[in-house]
Amino acid sequence: MRYLTAGESHGPKLVGILEGVPAGAKIDKELIDQALQERQKGPGRGGRMKIEKDQVVILSGIRGGVTTGAPIALEILNRDWTNWEKVMAWGSDADLESRKVTTPRPGHADLTGHLKYRTEVRNVLERASARETAMRVAVGNVALQILTALGVEIRGQVLGVGKIQLQMEDSPEHWERVDASEWKVGDAQSEEALYAQLKEAQIKGESLGGILQVQVDHLPPGLGSYVQWDRKLDGRLAQAVLSVQAMKGVSFGMGFAAGEHFGSEVHDPIGYDDGRGYYRFSNNAGGIEGGMTNGEPIVLQAVMKPIPTLYSPLQTVNMESKEIMEASVERSDVCAVPAALIVLRHVVGWEILQAVLEKFPSDTWEELHKAWRDYFQYVSEQ
């Protein structure tokens, strides 16, 4: 199973092609649209979110709400295209000078992309933009819907924004608070402090990053593999997470704190119950051992850097005159941490489904569902 995306931030549309999705799986377009709209929400989002009203257009591979086994083609229109049509036109009539960028932003792909491809910075930032994640959410939601039908649940919460660290729990009441929160946090008392910090950043022309957590429940042991480096599931999840714009680190379970403890304080003792099979008394490993799921929930954390576009710009160099100047300012968010959480849930969902389809027969939904049930029965009896 694989996918490709194409499109620029201010181009006419984003497109995606998915290949290898089982035939016979039910896909609800409204659920994809809901995920796209959720990605646009959150405190600190910029003016672009007031323009776009993202909805997916399904072009192929789904008929009557059911996958056919053929490649699935999706598109998302950019409503802001009407303001950029002359600038971003593909033909010789394109206005290449009116919004030319000559002052690359520190922390962005601007300068390095220009040096690598020998192209104008506008061409770099248009593709490097996090606008591309809208299509990754649409693609990932197809995977999430199939996983949900198998009984898998993928949830996420924000663990910190800027200097404010938040309470972490795993209870139904906590997750209800997360779902109801604009910040995607389970500590309602901290939201006032989060809004105050956001206001401070807005006044100073700053931006904010944060720490996010994604949790995957109800997986069997044995997804992924230890036999080759590129088949290890934690390595593949880490690559998927770090491929999302602004992500700078990823950890699993206890994460980096594991390096501060004795082994007896880190590794998870194993137990056994009739009817349940093997289980762990704790989950410091974050659900993955030896590159494979171990039957406990996958728990991963990611750190998101502050967005590179600052309304009080940092120093840079004018690429034409080589003078020291302030970096360019593209319309941007002050904080996109809650929105990034939506993206992470979906890129994680894609990788999990890919691991599922590698292990089980999956030309059709019926084959996959039966093999999934049979395997759960098998591991519970060992």
CATH code (residue 135): 3.60.150.10
User: How many helices and strands (H and E) does the chain possess?
Assistant: 11, 17
C-alpha span between 76 and 137 (Å, rounded): 11
Check whether 26 is labelled as a binding-site residue.
no
pLDDT for 48: 64
Closest CA to 380 of 290, 282, 256, 272: 272
Check whether 290 is labelled as a binding-site residue.
yes
* Angle formed at CA 374 by CA 369 and CA 377, multiple of 5 degrees: 130
Measure the N-to-C terminal CA separation of the chain; round to a whole number of Å.
30
How would you classify the pairing of strands 298-304 and 210-217?
antiparallel
pLDDT for 320: 94
Domain of 38, in residue numbers: 2-381
Number of domains, the chain? 1
Residue type, 47: G
Low-confidence ranges of the chain (pLDDT < 50): none
pLDDT for 46: 73
Check whether 39 is labelled as a binding-site residue.
yes
Check whether 307 is labelled as a binding-site residue.
yes
How would you classify the pairing of strands 292-293 and 288-289?
antiparallel
Check whether 245 is labelled as a binding-site residue.
yes
Check whether 309 is labelled as a binding-site residue.
yes
pLDDT for 22: 98
pLDDT for 303: 98
Check whether 345 is labelled as a binding-site residue.
no
Check whether 127 is labelled as a binding-site residue.
yes
Check whether 308 is labelled as a binding-site residue.
yes
Which phi and psi angles does 231 have, rounded to 5°?
A: -105, 0
Check whether 129 is labelled as a binding-site residue.
yes
**What's the pTM value of the predicted model, to 2 decimals?**
0.95
